[in-house]
Amino acid sequence: MRAVAVNEFGGDPKVVDLAKPTPGRGELLVEVAAAAVNPFDWKVADGMLGGSMEHTFPLVLGSDFAGTVVDLGADTTRFSVGDRVFGSVLRAPVGAVGAYAEFLTVPSEGLVASAADLDPARAAALPTAAGTALGLLEAGGVLAGQTVLLVGAAGGVGTFVTQLAAARDVRVLAVTRGVGAAGMGALGAAETYDAADGIVVDKVRSDHPDGVDALVDLVSGAADFAAYARLIRDGGVALSTRFVADPDELGRRGIEAINHNQKSTARLYDRLADELRARRITVPIEARLPLSDAPSAIARSRLGGARGKTVILP
Ligand SMILES: NC(=O)c1ccc[n+]([C@@H]2O[C@H](COP(=O)([O-])OP(=O)(O)OC[C@H]3O[C@@H](n4cnc5c(N)ncnc54)[C@H](OP(=O)(O)O)[C@@H]3O)[C@@H](O)[C@H]2O)c1
């Protein structure tokens, strides 16, 4: 089968020919219909998990997928051949299976949920991006009527945070750069700030002199995060997906600091699928590309500029 893999940490992703995987005990064999591009994919290729999990090379890239169950290992009860599913693959040894491939195996009791009646491209876009978005809002305890400052709003996670928050009557102040502002209002952002010329702390403060209840920052390094966090009113919450929230510094102002590390479950994926079916979220798909274009899609993700989700269709 064709797959996209690297031969070493930091290597160039290439389309390779690999043996089709065989489902082990309790596993599903899935024919992949769509895989989503996430920054996590190239971070894994660069060795982000090298110190904590065993890896194997060629390391097949990609975690989020949707497809059809085409075979079952022994003792597999949760799904049947022909079922449409979506989910996420990440298990040791990392790289033995990946979503950028024509087939993958996944434990039937693992991170996999029913995608019946869902468009595969949209379903594949949900696990990491929408899962993290919902995880952030719940970890931060963000409530209806509150105001959240969202930095990095136009990308994969940010477009889902915007929609999920707005659907819960949370007021979203979306910080994007350049053309990222387009379409944020349609996704539910109450206001959009353009950080193209630098961070926009002064502008937000003059519009919101009482501060915001929560900061959800998907992109900033420590210094910019600390500057944005000064906009949070005392007793609020500051969340980073980049692990730069300083609990000591923020704690002195009674602000809860959360360095969010998303832990997903199949139940969470079911909830996301329900949000999609009920049209409480849409999936902003920026590009649909063939597997042969996955290496360039990964290169583009590294450079930034994402507007919603890029999806690979093997
Ligand atoms: N900790 C966790 O559990 C977890 C889970 C999921 C994701 N993450 C991480 O969270 C980050 C975001 O993920 P993602 O999937 O949303 O990435 P993405 O799809 O690449 O989107 C990032 C967005 O942020 C924008 N951006 C970058 N710098 C900005 C700035 N200074 N001000 C305003 N906007 C800015 C980018 O556009 P421009 O470049 O055009 O500005 C892009 O629209 C990644 O680092 C990812 O690895 C962590």
- Is 273 contained in some domain? no
Residue 62: strand, helix, or coil = coil
Q: Taking CB atoms and a 6 Å cutoff, what residues make up the pocket around ligand 1?
A: 38-40, 43, 128-129, 132, 151-152, 154-158, 175-177, 180, 195, 218-219, 241-242, 260-262, 301, 304-306
Q: What is the mean pLDDT of the chain?
A: 97
Which of 135, 153, 283, 147 has its CA nearest to residue 219? 153
Task: Tell me, in angstroms, the distance from the centre of ligand 1 to residue 218's CA.
Answer: 5
Answer whether residue 272 shows pLDDT above 90: yes
Query: Do 121 and 135 fall within a single domain?
Result: no
Task: Tell me, in angstroms, the distance from the centre of ligand 1 to residue 208's CA.
Answer: 24
Burial class (CB in 10 A: 0-12, 13-18, 19+), 164: buried
- Is 188 contained in some domain? yes
Which residue, judged by its Cα, is nearest atom 9 of ligand 1?
A: 241
Answer whether residue 198 shows pLDDT above 90: no
Which residue, judged by its Cα, is nearest atom 29 of ligand 1?
A: 152
Query: Do 303 and 255 fall within a single domain?
Result: no
Q: What's the total number of domains in the chain?
A: 2
Task: Tell me, in angstroms, the distance from the centre of ligand 1 to residue 152's CA.
Answer: 5
Query: Do 120 and 135 fall within a single domain?
Result: no
Task: Tell me, in angstroms, the distance from the centre of ligand 1 to residue 217's CA.
Answer: 9
At 143, the amino acid letter reads: L
CATH code, 43 = 3.90.180.10
- Is 277 contained in some domain? no
pLDDT classification of 24: cutoffs 50, 70, 90: very high
Query: Do 49 and 102 fall within a single domain?
Result: yes
Task: Tell me, in angstroms, the distance from the centre of ligand 1 to residue 178's CA.
Answer: 14
Query: Do 117 and 53 fall within a single domain?
Result: yes
Domain span at residue 40 reads: 2-125+283-313
DSSP code for 240? E
pLDDT classification of 62: cutoffs 50, 70, 90: very high
Query: Do 47 and 74 fall within a single domain?
Result: yes
- Is 114 contained in some domain? yes
In angstroms, the CA 48 to CA 33 distance is 27
Q: At what angle do helices 156-167 and 131-139 cross, to 10 degrees?
A: 50
What pLDDT is recorded for position 289? 98
* 26 Cβ contact list (under 8 Å, min separation 6): 73, 74, 75, 76, 107, 108, 109
Which residue, judged by its Cα, is nearest atom 30 of ligand 1?
A: 152
Q: Using most ligand atoms within 8 A of CB, pick from 43, 63, 157 the residue to mutate for ligand 1.
A: 157
Task: Tell me, in angstroms, the distance from the centre of ligand 1 to residue 298's CA.
Answer: 14
- Is 276 contained in some domain? no
Ligand 1 atom closest to Cα of residue 40: 47
Residue 28: strand, helix, or coil = strand
Q: Using most ligand atoms within 8 A of CB, pick from 52, 219, 260 the residue to mutate for ligand 1.
A: 219
Ligand 1 atom closest to Cα of residue 177: 41
Ligand 1 atom closest to Cα of residue 309: 19
Query: Do 238 and 251 fall within a single domain?
Result: yes
Write the pLDDT tens digit of every residue in 78-93. Answer: 999 999 999 999 999 9
Identify the residue whose tokens are 């990222």. 180
Q: Average pLDDT of 17-29?
A: 97
- Report the Cα–Cα distance between both ends of the chain, in Å, rounded: 10
Ligand 1 atom closest to Cα of residue 154: 43
Ligand 1 atom closest to Cα of residue 129: 15
Domain boundary among 259, 275, 292: 259
- Is 45 contained in some domain? yes
For residue 161, give Cα distances in angstroms to 70, 84, 108, 155.
34, 26, 28, 10
Query: Do 20 and 120 fall within a single domain?
Result: yes
Query: Do 112 and 15 fall within a single domain?
Result: yes
For residue 80, give Cα distances in angstroms to 8, 77, 83, 202, 301.
36, 7, 6, 56, 35
How many helices (H) and strands (E) would you count in the chain? Answer: 10, 16
Query: Do 83 and 141 fall within a single domain?
Result: no
Write the pLDDT tens digit of every residue in 128-187. Answer: 999 999 999 999 999 999 999 999 999 999 999 999 999 999 999 999 998 778 899 999
pLDDT classification of 199: cutoffs 50, 70, 90: confident
What pLDDT is recorded for position 73? 98
Q: Give the tokens for residue 61.
A: 């890239």
- Is 100 contained in some domain? yes
Write the pLDDT tens digit of every residue in 207-266. Answer: 999 999 999 999 999 999 999 999 999 999 999 999 999 999 999 999 999 999 999 999
Query: Do 163 and 112 fall within a single domain?
Result: no
Residue 142: strand, helix, or coil = coil
Ligand 1 atom closest to Cα of residue 43: 47
Q: Are 16 and 58 in contact (CB under 8 A)?
A: yes
pLDDT classification of 74: cutoffs 50, 70, 90: very high
